[in-house]
Amino acid sequence: MQPITAQRVKDEGLEWQDIRVELDPPHIIDSETFTHALQSQIIDAEGNVYHGIIEDNGTVTAAGGYTRYDSVATFGGVAKAEPAGMSKRFGIYNKTRHTMFYNSQTRQVFVHAVHPSVSDDNYYSMDPLDVVGWLFDVDNREEPVRYDDEPQAFAVGIPSGVMNAIEQHLDGNPIDWVRCILAEALGDMQLAGGAVGVRDGAPAFTPEQVRAALNGIQETKAVSPASIDRPEEKDPLARTAEQLRAIIKRIRETKTISPPIIDAAQDDPTTVEKVQVRVGEIEKEC
């Protein structure tokens, strides 16, 4: 695909022409095969064919003037580039879809920008810093990076606190849990897609498993030792009735002894016996 300068087009009075060309290989769209298509070309007096016009500012106009490239290098490189499988939507009214392309021969990266309500489209190049910006800027633009290859997915920033809570309380892949929790919240577990690493499989967890897991986390936090206010005294007996009732409830549910009581027992071997007696008294009162 050769471009021609805007000055030659003007001097020679050349214009865009729609020429029927054969597609090699044929294009398949919605199971229908197309072997020919119309292609916008500029043909000079000697029969030379051009597919782009190099404008005075260095950009290239193609496709009858409806497609623009930011440079001659982009115009030549895009022709041999393949979809990179990522896109991002931002720009005019937050609807312009920017799809990434990669030329494996030249190691160049390009982006095709298309707005659903605008006939013009644009191609521009990206340097390594731009690509890194796409991968790391997951929260600051109107829409996160979308992975276009199946199964399609979005890259979003999940606070570390959320991931830490899931890893601490739940067995299994945290990403599977995040997907299934969101899908369950929306009322359709199939939205979670297959488990991590499984393209067409069933969701990693059932709705019942998700609800049980969330209830378990909430109940654990409700009686977590860190959530119970304790006096500064080292003596574990110096507690309010409410604190002891909470500890009793936790002992019944988890069958474990509170860590501070264990620490105290190491200093005083009679502590556990004292606490057990006091717990018995409180249980009778409850």
Q: What is the pLDDT of residues 201-258, one digit of tens each?
A: 899 999 999 999 998 888 776 544 444 444 444 444 445 666 666 766 666 665 444 4
Question: Does residue 130 sit in the same domain as residue 196?
Answer: no
8-state DSSP, 212 = H
- Per residue in 158-196, pLDDT (tens digit) is 888 888 989 988 988 999 999 999 999 999 999 998 898
Where among 48, 65, 82 does a domain terminate? 65
Q: Are 42 and 14 in contact (CB under 8 A)?
A: yes
What is the three-class DSSP state of 210? helix
Question: Does residue 33 sit in the same domain as residue 7?
Answer: yes
Question: Does residue 131 sit in the same domain as residue 173?
Answer: no
Where among 129, 150, 171 does a domain terminate? 150
Q: Are 190 and 179 in contact (CB under 8 A)?
A: no
- What domain count does the chain have? 4
Question: Does residue 251 sit in the same domain as residue 234?
Answer: yes
Looking only at the bridges linking them, the beta strands covering 121-126 and 17-29 are unpaired
pTM: 0.62
Alpha helices in the chain (DSSP H): 6-12, 72-78, 128-136, 160-169, 174-185, 207-222, 241-254, 259-267, 271-285
- Residue 177: give the domain boundaries: 158-222
In whole angstroms, what is the distance from residue 26 CA to residue 15 CA? Answer: 27
Q: Which of 144, 136, 156 is nearest to 88 (CA)?
A: 144
Question: Does residue 257 sit in the same domain as residue 238?
Answer: yes
